[in-house]
Structure 1
Amino acid sequence: MKAAPFEYFRASSLDEAVEALGTPDARVLAGGQSLVPLLNLRQARPSLVVDINRVDELSFLREENGRLEIGALTRHRFAETSAVVRSEVPLLAEALGYVGHVAIRNRGTIGGSLAHADPAAELPAVMVALDAGFTVHGPDGERIVAARDFFLGPHRTALAPGELLTRISVPPHRGGWAVEELSRRSRDLALVAVFVTVTMSGDVCESARIAVAGAGPTPIRPLTAEKSLAGGPLTDDAIALAAELVATETDPPGDLHAPAGYRREMAAVLTRRAITRAKESA
């Protein structure tokens, strides 16, 4: 199929982009990883497509005030291969390698994946696990939204009409971490994926963060499971209990790819593996 008719505007500054996005039913074009297929299938019928690829102020990756700052227009592959990302937030670098194939990662953008808010996608979940903050720019200025509050449902975010995600701020994490993902084929969207970080003091787990993709309408943060790990050693029994709690805190969909019960069971299995690996890497 071909896209339904729409107007096209190429913005050259952030202010131009925000002004254009005030048009009813306007959509943002960055890498086109998600929008272009939706246009071709006529699942998206915008009145206006706002191309932000020449808004250079949205393309950056740097350390600033002890955090990793990423412009929304930064390409997946650039961040994946960045020495700064691999050093300061290795979990993010690892997660980016699961996003599609290299050709997709060369074009797709960090901000685009987050704004698309696919509940099975890796980046929304890893940003929740890392406690990232998102800067949003709109007609009324800037505001900051925590990653855990940004995703409201499948393909729904806290972005108001006319707002644009501009920056992702990620705190460094040098403790233990791990990614475990299950998909039908390599680089397919995850049936379930689990992202874990742990901070250890000797044999004691000071804190743990877990995020699960593909197990609910948004990335799932199983707080009960996290609390069960904090303050004690990561024994096999403690890890098994946390995995069971993750299964109870998820609400996976059932579809032609996998039934809900299977996804829930795999969430527990992958959590157990991920916590074990995170402990070993701490």
Structure 2
Amino acid sequence: MIPAEFDYVAPTTLDDAVRALADAGEDAKIIAGGQSLLPVLRMRLATPPKLVDLARVAELHGIREDGDRIVIGAMTTHYELQRDPLVADHLALLRLATDTVADPQVRHRGTLGGALAHADPAGDLAAPALALDAEFTVCGMDGKRTIPASDFFVDYFTTALRPDEIISEIRFPKHTNCHAHYEKFTRVAQAWSIVAVGACLQVTDGTITDARIALTNMAPVPLRATTVEAALVGNPITPETLRTAAAHAADHTTPTTDSNADRDYRHHLARVLTTRALTAAAGA
């Protein structure tokens, strides 16, 4: 299908982008990589009067180290995340989740900020961002503010962003020497997650000292499996510990029933995939 008619603007600075978005009104849309927005436009599920393209805003690109943080520009592509040494060294869970996103063509065009702002509960990067305690720096007409990942995702395809706000960067605490794995279940290759689980473990002298377990598509928003985390921390990293903790993966989750899987099957998948993710992470 052909999208409905819209105006288009491609600013070169963040200030100009914010101003263009505010001037266009609440129905305007930002286009980042376009990998989620363009299909929606083609099917006319959205008919925005204006698109604000962020591709030429240089300050939104790049990955850098800032003390104990890794700072990733919102327009950084999945391809860049996969290959950056800072991400590999300090944000292993994010890199592993990025490896599962769609196909190489999408990863070359899709962006971290675009994927997170889209807030699809089946998207693979929101849950790792939550587990790794990411913070979103957003800019609007009233200035700049910071939103923790725990407050950013509000509901299906809904975030805490105001209509005139743009994500400028995502800041992650370093998770160096993390034992990480991302386990994803789909019906066909390169598809959205039916359920996925990310695990990030810190281990000292054979004991789990920190555990961060992320659940994808087990609720309208990404979830931390806090019951699993509590069952892991302070215990030896043994197969029995991992299995016992993983049995709680479906606790406090509210998955949907749809054509891909019903609620009970997603509960089962969460437990199985958590066992696999923890086992793989423990062996990393």
TM-score, structure 1 normalization: 0.96
Partner of 2:280: 277
Q: After superposition, give the CA deviation of every residue in 1:197-216 in whole Å (9 maximum; x if it has no partner).
A: 11112121111011100111
Contact map agreement 2:186 2:195 (CA 8 A) in 1: yes
Contact map agreement 2:18 2:141 (CA 8 A) in 1: yes
Partner of 2:229: 226
3-state SS of paired residue (1:53): coil
User: Aligned match of 1:71 in 70, 73, 85?
Assistant: 73
Contact map agreement 2:184 2:197 (CA 8 A) in 1: yes
Partner of 1:8: 8
Equivalences for 1:32-181 in 2 at 5 Å? 32-173=34-175, 174-181=177-184
Contact map agreement 2:227 2:251 (CA 8 A) in 1: no
3-state SS of paired residue (1:159): coil
Q: CA deviation at 1:238?
A: 2.7
Corresponding pairs, count: 281
Structure 1 distance, partners of 2:178, 2:12, is 40
Structure 1 distance, partners of 2:212, 2:201, is 7
3-state SS of paired residue (2:247): helix
Q: CA deviation at 1:64?
A: 1.5
Q: After superposition, give the CA deviation of every residue in 1:80-134 in whole Å (9 maximum; x if it has no partner).
A: 1112221222222211111110001111111000000010111101111111111
Equivalences for 1:256-271 in 2 at 5 Å? 256-271=259-274
Letter in 1 for 2:4: A
Structure 1 distance, partners of 2:130, 2:215, is 9
Task: In structure 2, list runs of 5 or more residues that go unmatched.
Answer: none
Q: After superposition, give the CA deviation of every residue in 1:50-81 in whole Å (9 maximum; x if it has no partner).
A: 11111111011111112211100111101111
Structure 2 distance, partners of 1:248, 1:227, is 12
Structure 1 distance, partners of 2:56, 2:264, is 45
Q: CA deviation at 1:237?
A: 3.3
Q: After superposition, give the CA deviation of every residue in 1:155-213 in whole Å (9 maximum; x if it has no partner).
A: 10010110001101112222211111101111110111100111112121111011100
3-state SS of paired residue (1:148): helix
Contact map agreement 2:70 2:171 (CA 8 A) in 1: yes
Percent pairwise identity: 41
3-state SS of paired residue (1:11): coil
3-state SS of paired residue (2:113): helix
Q: CA deviation at 1:233?
A: 1.4
Letter in 1 for 2:232: L
Q: 1:240 to 1:249 in 2, by over 3 A?
A: farther
Partner of 1:17: 17
Structure 1 distance, partners of 2:236, 2:155, is 35
Letter in 2 for 1:108: G
Structure 2 distance, partners of 1:207, 1:81, is 26
Which segment is superposed worse, 228-237 or 29-38?
228-237
1:206 equivalent to 2:209? Answer yes
Letter in 2 for 1:18: V
Equivalences for 1:192-203 in 2 at 5 Å? 192-203=195-206
